[in-house]
């Protein structure tokens, strides 16, 4: 009965650990080279699920998965830059809560879903708390560069679009193992094309893998673990219930890590704002579910 909850707990914990290690790794690596190297290792690790995958799917489904891989590739590239240049205790809470806002908005226009007045008020609370997390008292910016604030919003929108598409695919009875293998394959290919176009080859990727294999490999292992457990939890319970539970635990882990491990200032203030955001996100998700 509570299998989905145990899977969510595992997923959020693995995700938090992965993000903390990633923050350390990005201090010494270029975001693009890291993302490309990471995607290659993640794909090869995902092949462990090959015996359980079912590839009797149509070309339209494959096309949808590829479109989602493009969204994920863009999201990972931008996220890596945000984690590299911004505070973890700021970026993680915002990227965990704002996507829920965009999911509600997209669902309203694409699916005709309508919310109550209190749910819209909860959306306003999330947006207000996100603003207060990003900016210090007196309107002073608490993020390294205004462009990274805009990137937070863009990444949140990308995550929301990808989540809606993923939910649609699972509702079409797509096998979770098939999804993760094809997604990781397409993402790694996308990165190879990106690195070739922008940097004239994949030499930097090879060099990055050679010098940082243990760090990137560890992050990839935790990433595959949190993704597959999340996919299965989403298949067992409504995504609108699963997402806030995972995000709640993940945000607590990363906010505490940002304040304690990385010595980021304003921890208690952010924890209070995060708590308010999570209550609002949870209320919206349970109401929709």
pLDDT at position 93? 67
- Structural tokens at position 235: 């298949």
pLDDT of residue 200: 67
Summarize pLDDT for 251-265 with one digit per residue, the tens: 777 777 766 666 666
* Token pair recorded at residue 103: 């999911």
Q: Is residue 272's pLDDT more than 60? A: yes
* CA–CA gap between residue 153 and residue 95 (Å, rounded): 8
Percentage with pLDDT > 90 across the chain: 28
Count up the domains in the chain and report the number. Answer: 1
Closest by Cα among 239, 275, 264, 240 to 91 = 264
Cα separation, 135 vs 129, whole angstroms: 10
| pLDDT score of 235 | 82
pLDDT for position 138:
46
pTM for this prediction: 0.81
Q: What average pLDDT does range 19-25 have in this prediction?
A: 81
**Domain around 170:** 3-288
- CB-based contact 276:125 (threshold 8 Å): yes
What share of the chain has pLDDT > 70, as a percent?
79
What rounded mean pLDDT belongs to the chain?
81
CA 177 to chain centre: 19
Q: How many residues does the chain have?
A: 289
pLDDT digits (tens, 9 = 90+) for 101-153: 787 788 778 766 666 788 778 878 877 777 676 665 444 455 555 666 788 88
pLDDT at 137: 47
Confidence tier at 289 by pLDDT (50, 70, 90): low
What is the Cα–Cα distance from 227 to 37, expressed in whole angstroms? 18
204 vs 160: CA distance, rounded Å: 31
Whether residue 229 is predicted with pLDDT greater than 90 in this model: the reply is: yes
When comparing pLDDT for 83 and 47, which is higher? 47
Q: What SS3 class is residue 186?
A: helix
pLDDT tens-place string over residues 49-90: 999 999 999 999 999 999 999 999 998 888 877 766 666 666
Q: Is the pLDDT of residue 201 over 80?
A: no
Q: What is the mean pLDDT of residues 17-45?
A: 84
Quick one: CA torsion of 22, 25, 27, 30, rounded to 10 degrees?
-90
User: Per DSSP, what are the bridge partners of residue 135?
Assistant: 141
Residue 238 to residue 264: CA distance in whole angstroms: 35
Which of the pair, 119 or 225, is modelled with greater confidence?
225
Q: Which residue has the higher pLDDT, 187 or 167?
A: 187
pLDDT of residue 51: 97
pLDDT in tens, 179-196: 999 999 999 999 999 888
- 3-state SS class at 141: strand
Q: Is the dihedral of CA 135, 143, 18, 61 positive or negative?
A: positive
pLDDT of amino acid 52: 97
Which position has the token pair 């922008």? 198
Of 176, 156, 194, 212, which is closest to residue 65 (Cα–Cα)? 176
What letters, b where the CB count within 10 A reaches 16 and e where it falls short, cover 102-131? bbbebbeeeeeeebeeebeebbebbeebbe
Structure-token pair, residue 201: 């080859």
Nearest Cα neighbor of 202 from 23, 80, 40 is: 40
């Amino acid at each position: 009965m509570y299998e989905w909850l145990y899977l969510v707990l595992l997923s959020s914990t693995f995700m938090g650990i992965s993000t903390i290690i990633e923050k350390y790794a990005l201090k010494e690596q270029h975001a693009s080279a890291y993302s490309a190297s990471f995607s290659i290792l993640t794909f090869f690790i995902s092949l462990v699920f090959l015996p359980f995958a079912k590839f009797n799917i149509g070309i339209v489904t494959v096309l949808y998965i590829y479109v989602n891989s493009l969204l994920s590739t863009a999201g990972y590239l931008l996220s890596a830059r945000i984690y590299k240049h911004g505070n973890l205790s700021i970026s993680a809470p915002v990227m965990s809560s704002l996507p829920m806002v965009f999911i509600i908005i997209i669902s309203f226009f694409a699916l005709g879903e309508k919310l109550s007045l209190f749910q819209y008020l909860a959306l306003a609370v999330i947006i207000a708390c996100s603003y207060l997390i990003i900016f210090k008292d007196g309107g002073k910016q608490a993020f390294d560069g205004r462009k990274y604030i805009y990137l937070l919003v863009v990444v949140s929108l990308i995550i929301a679009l990808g989540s809606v598409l993923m939910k649609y695919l699972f509702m079409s009875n797509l096998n979770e193992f098939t999804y993760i293998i094809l997604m990781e394959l397409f993402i790694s290919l996308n990165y190879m094309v990106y690195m070739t176009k922008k940097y004239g080859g994949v030499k930097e990727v090879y060099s990055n893998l050679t010098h940082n294999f243990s760090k990137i490999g560890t992050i990839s292992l935790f990433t595959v673990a949190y993704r597959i457990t999340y996919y299965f939890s989403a298949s067992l319970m409504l995504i609108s219930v699963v997402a806030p539970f995972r995000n709640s635990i993940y945000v607590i882990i990363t906010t505490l890590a940002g304040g304690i491990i990385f010595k980021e200032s304003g921890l208690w203030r952010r924890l209070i704002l995060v708590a308010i955001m999570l209550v609002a996100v949870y209320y919206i998700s349970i109401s929709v579910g």
